[in-house]
Structure 1
């Protein structure tokens, strides 16, 4: 009689899922995020104070939408918003190039 093996548990295929060291795993998970959470939240609130509604979900999942919002923010007469847009864009560039922020 042929034995039927039990299905094996699927291992995580993402790199952070395979890393055992918690600090290394958390750094890699943070690096995989499209935008820094606190900065994105502050950016969305600042944009809303300027009358622009920004979707956090679209910022995280639609590159074109995210870059359009950064361009709008950069062109507004709000220096703080412009600085936030530049910071987010630099993070986006680093993500696209594969450069991980060492902090």
Structure 2
């Protein structure tokens, strides 16, 4: 069964930045290339697991949980997609990659 996150908590892990006028803006966590995230989302859906693209792009803990779940489903293609997404996450976290994969 998919890990469900209450909509009000989807952005809880996203840092909040303030501009010069003091207005807050959520910073997004989105190291995923759009095509890769789309392929992952569709493959998860084909296995009966709906994911939130918004949460995948704004909540690192949610995203990593979905990648872990995907690795444990016994679907080789899904595991490869999860591995590639995790490599994007690592590159983003390490600061070694300024570009999207």
- Give the TM-score normalised by structure 2: 0.67
Which segments of 5 or more consecutive residues in structure 1 lack a partner in the other structure? 1-9, 11-31
Unmatched 5+ stretches in structure 2: 1-19, 21-28
Q: How many residue pairs align between the two structures?
A: 73
Following TM superposition, by how much is the alpha carbon of 1:100 offset from its aligned partner in structure 2, in angstroms? 1.1
Partners of 2:31 and 2:92 within 8 A in 1: yes
Greater fraction helix:
1
Whether 2:87 is the aligned partner of 1:90: answer yes
Runs of 4+ in 1 over 4 A off after TM superposition: none
Q: CA RMSD in A?
A: 1.9
Q: Which has the higher strand share?
A: 2
Give me the TM-score of the superposition, normalised by structure 1: 0.66
2:51 aligned partner:
54
Larger radius of gyration: 1
Mapped pair 1:39 → 2:36: yes
**1:101 offset after TM fit, Å?**
6.5
Distance 1:101 1:90 in 2: 14
Contact 2:30/2:58 (<8 A) preserved? no
